[in-house]
Amino acid sequence: MAMTTPATRPANPRFSSGPCAKPPTFTLDQLADAPLGRSHRAAVGKEKLKSAIETTRDVLGVPADYHIGIVPGSDTGAVEMAMWSLLGARKATMLAWESFGAGWVTDVVKQLKIDAEVKTADYGEIVDLTTVDFDTDVVFTWNGTTSGVRVPNGDAIPADRAGLTICDATSAAFAQELPWDKLDVVTFSWQKALGGEAAHGMLILSPRAVERLESYTPAWPLPKIFRLTKGGKLIDGIFRGETINTPSMLCVEDYLVALDWAKSVGGLEGMIARADANTAVIADFVDTHDWLEFLAAEPAIRSNTSVCLKFADARIQDGAAFAKAVAKRLEAEGVALDIGAYRDAPAGLRIWCGATVETADLEALMPWLEWAFEAEIAAQA
Ligand SMILES: Cc1ncc(COP(=O)(O)O)c(C=O)c1O
């Protein structure tokens, strides 16, 4: 096949799965209102932090009786704070279908040493949730960023469960529906579907999670950075923007700008529609090119944010080297940055399709995928 260079390039080649592309309208001067050099405990700082919490509630549709806090350590900080503070009261079930979920298993089994059942699925699949005992505390990742899968819905989670559900939703929030009544802890970072900055995590707690916090004290010591209660009571201030330690007010401003943008494209519904449209561009391309496949074979569990692809062509000699070389070619051309599969995941490509990516840029990228694939097949020969 002749390898003609495609005529059009994506206007923005940023398809990284985190930090993800900033909203298309983003410019640095939008951050001019950040209260730099001011205390986050001054009225102006407190107001910004409170607004970040309440706008999150508004855009994501978080129930009024759920607590929303801004915590240190990005999504990892939020997940670990939840596990260290809540687990141990009853048996745990750890679900993992990619490397971040596997990391939470290590935390619980090797560090906290909790009595836990571990259920795993291969890359591209998820655990059958109907086999999970939700009377245990269940920790899982809603969208598997490194394997391109997602939980399709919360139907398998009983409303009257005795355990807590602790859900790492960092690459799902602002792109997928989250069934709040089925989730007791939800975490995410600003750096994913909103195109915000990392370092701060969002920790969302159901009334049942708060009840656990106030009725159970873990057997292990908790550093200040993880402490959500004082004298057996929830530290309410954390959930009004009185953060445990100092946040970056520049990042907070950036988050507020991103939330405004999310509202401007139709809020959560608009964000989901954009991610779905982006993923459809790739699905159409995969349908018509038999050398490319989704890592997630089953459409119902396929992610609309971190889309993971694998090459399927008998001519490919070394799958990992091939995929890396394709990603490198695309990067060298400046048409796609950071789209190699995650280091622990099967060889292939991972293309972020969250709402901050423009559909036109994915459309422009597809012919380049073909170009890079053919060029690499030829180079191998
Ligand atoms: C599913 C999942 N969990 C956790 C993390 C860690 O997030 P952070 O680096 O924001 O703490 C990531 C990052 O990509 C992720 O995809």
Q: Which domain holds residue 143?
A: 38-263
Q: Ligand 1: does its nearest atom lie under 6 Å from the Cβ of 305? A: no
Compute the mean pLDDT over every residue in the chain, rounded to the nearest whole number. 97
- Domain membership of residue 21 (yes or no) is no
Same structural domain, 148 and 59: yes
Rounded to the nearest whole angstrom, what is the distance from the C-alpha of residue 316 to the centroid of ligand 1? Answer: 31
- Whole-number pLDDT of residue 249: 98
> Do 230 and 297 have their domain in common?
no
Please check the confidence at residue 314 and state whether its pLDDT lies above 60. Answer: yes
Enter the pTM of the model. Answer: 0.98
> Does any domain span residue 374?
yes
Same domain as 222, residue 284: no
What pLDDT digit, counting tens, does each position of 108-148 carry? 999 999 999 999 999 999 999 999 999 999 999 999 999 99
Q: Does residue 342 sit in the same domain as residue 204?
A: no
170 Cβ closer than 6 Å to some ligand 1 atom: yes
Q: Provide the pLDDT confidence category of residue 3 given band limits of 50, 70 and 90.
A: confident
Q: Which atom of ligand 1 is the closest one to the Cα of 75?
A: 11
Q: What is the pLDDT of residues 316-334, one digit of tens each?
A: 999 999 999 999 999 999 9
The answer on 300 and 279 residing in a single domain is yes
89 with 180, same domain? yes
Q: What percent of the chain has pLDDT over 70?
A: 99
Pair (242, 297) in one structural domain: no
Is 99 within a domain?
A: yes
Co-location of 332 and 346 in the same domain? yes
Do 134 and 254 have their domain in common?
yes
Same domain for 254 and 326, yes or no, is: no
13 found inside a domain: no
62 plus 103 within the same structural domain = yes
Residue 10 lies in a domain: no
User: Cα separations (Å) of 74 from 14, 95, 238, 282?
Assistant: 21, 21, 15, 29
* Chosen domain end from 263, 283, 310: 263
Q: How many whole angstroms from 19 Cα to the centroid of ligand 1?
A: 10
Residue range 14-60, pLDDT digits in tens: 999 999 999 999 999 999 999 999 999 999 999 999 999 999 999 99
Structural domain includes residue 137: yes
Residue 381 — very low, low, confident or very high, per pLDDT cuts 50/70/90?
confident
For residue 79, the ligand 1 atom closest to its alpha carbon is: 4
Distance from Cα 77 to the centre of ligand 1, integer Å = 10
Residue 2 pLDDT > 70, yes or no?
Answer: no
Looking at residue 294, its pLDDT comes to 98
Given a cut of 80, whether residue 1 has pLDDT beyond it is no
Q: Determine the average pLDDT of the residues in 282-290.
A: 98
pLDDT tens by residue, 193-225: 999 999 999 999 999 999 999 999 999 999 999
Domain end position, chosen among 218, 244, 263: 263
Q: Is the CB of 80 under 6 A from ligand 1?
A: no
Ligand 1 centroid to Cα of residue 292, in Å, is: 26
Residue 154 belongs to a domain: yes
Probe target for ligand 1 pocket from 16, 20, 70, 75, with the most ligand atoms within 8 Å of CB: 75
Ligand 1 mean position to 183 CA, how many Å?
A: 18
24 belongs to a structural domain:
no
Domain final residue, candidates 233, 263, 293: 263
Question: To the nearest whole percent, how much of the chain has pLDDT over 90?
Answer: 98
Question: Using a 6 Å cutoff on CB, does residue 187 contact ligand 1?
Answer: no
CATH of the domain at 305: 3.90.1150.10
Which CATH number do you get for residue 243?
Answer: 3.40.640.10
- How many domains are there within the chain? 2
**One domain for residues 190 and 276:** no
